Structure 1
Amino acid sequence: MDILGWILVILLFVVGMAGAIYPILPGALAIYGAFFIYGWFFSFSEFGVWFWLIQTLIVVVLFVADYAVSAWGVKRFGGSRASVIGSTIGLIFGPFVIPAFGLVIGPFAGAVIGEMIIGTRFDKSLKVGLGSVVGLFSSVVVKFILQLAMIVLFVLWLVF
């Protein structure tokens, strides 16, 4: 039974880290869920209130940062609310429409289309689209670091 518990914990960690790159996967929530799986299979006694407070704070920061960093990329390159919305829609649907490259093309096209709908010149719309890609990559880096911090904190909490 111990082996099954560890397999599930590690599987959720892998899904969580993949979620840093692929937005459809529940990144931080999968990692957070791994803590509960560990507790059910082994014990919750290793985790005190501070563990749960710190991990929950990281998850909240992660969700806020994910949106804020992506929106920052669009806004930094002169985008409007329409391009933020378009970029978000493209991020969600892009990977399904164009499986290999939709993760990058989706937010780019969504931001460009969002700007074009509100009447922005095409050259500025392209610049905003570039900003959405910069925001996406920046967001991936932030998510990866924070989610890795969650896993490292879990391991350190068990060891010490």
Structure 2
Amino acid sequence: MDIFLLIIGFLVALLGIIGSFLPILPGPLTSWFGLLILHFTGAVPMNWAFLGITLGIAILIWIVDYFIPAMGTKKFGGTRYGVIGTMVGLVVGLLAPIPFGIIIGPFIGAYIGEMLNEKNSGKALKAAFGSFIGFLTSSFLKFIAAIIFTGLYISIFWEYKSIFFTFS
């Protein structure tokens, strides 16, 4: 059962890294659940302080994630349409079979969103750039946190690996 939990926990931690770029999946929180699953194994002792601190960090990043793209858009004179366009563009960019769709999609989506609201293409381009920068900043922050949580997962596993693979 411990090996099953080890594999599931690792897959959840990896899913958290992918979730750093998907707007529907909270990356760091998902990676944290991988850590939690690892601590449910019989090989790793439950460390409530560690889990509480990492959960606090994951929740803080999750909350801040909602403000960073909006701050970037507003800083560059954008509106809510730019933020919505960024998210729609991200989904389209992920699904479209084009190179760098995950990067191009949010920018084009923000631009189209701002053009629907503001007919001035220069202002729309500036706001789209701000929305795009906010999206990149937010995604980078989530990605780094998810990578760190996955690294912690691997580190904890490595510390207790002999217990996982002891057959009696």
Tell me the TM-score range normalised by the shorter chain: 0.7 to 0.9
Q: TM-score with structure 1 length normalisation?
A: 0.78
CA offset at residue 59 of structure 1?
A: 1.9
Q: How far, CA to CA, are the matches of 1:139 and 1:112 in structure 2?
A: 18
Alpha-carbon offset, residue 6 of structure 1: 2.6
Report the structure number with the largest CA radius of gyration.
2
2:149 maps to amino acid: M
Contact 1:47–1:157 under 8 Å retained in 2 = no
CA separation of 1:130/1:99 partners in 2, compared to 1, >3 Å: closer, same or farther? same
Match of 2:41 in 1: 41
* Whole-Å separation in 1 of the counterparts to 2:54 and 2:64: 15
Cα root mean square deviation, aligned: 2.8
Q: Moved runs in structure 1, 4+ residues, more than 6 A?
A: 155-158
Query: What CA deviation, in whole Å up to 9, does each residue of 1:99-152 have, x standing for no partner?
Result: 533322222122112211123401221122222222222112211232234345
CA distance in 1, matches of 2:121, 2:43: 58
Q: Is 2:63 aligned against 1:64?
A: yes
Distance in 1 (alpha carbons) for counterparts of 2:98 and 2:29? 24
Tell me the TM-score normalised to structure 2 length: 0.75
**Which residue in the other structure is 2:94 paired with?**
95
Residue type of the partner of 2:15? V
Q: Distance in 2 between matches of 1:77 and 1:55?
A: 33
Q: Percent identity between the aligned chains?
A: 35
Partner of 1:122: 121
Match of 1:143 in 2: 142
Superposed, 1:63-82 pairs within 5 Å as: 63-82=62-81
**For the residues of structure 1 that align with 2:116 and 2:23, how far apart are their CA atoms?**
25
Distance 1:154 1:47, change over 3 A: farther
Which amino acid is the alignment partner of residue 117 of structure 1? L
- SS of alignment partner, residue 59 of structure 1: helix
Aligned length, in residue pairs = 158
Question: 1:87 deviation in Å?
Answer: 1.5
Moved more, 106-115 or 3-12: 3-12
Q: Which runs of 5+ in 2 are unaligned?
A: 160-168
Give the aligned partner of residue 29 of structure 2: 29
Mean CA deviation greater in 36-45 or 85-94: 36-45
SS in 2 for 1:46: coil
Q: 1:111 matched to which residue of 2?
A: 110
Match of 1:86 in 2: 85
CA distance in 2, matches of 1:111, 1:69: 15
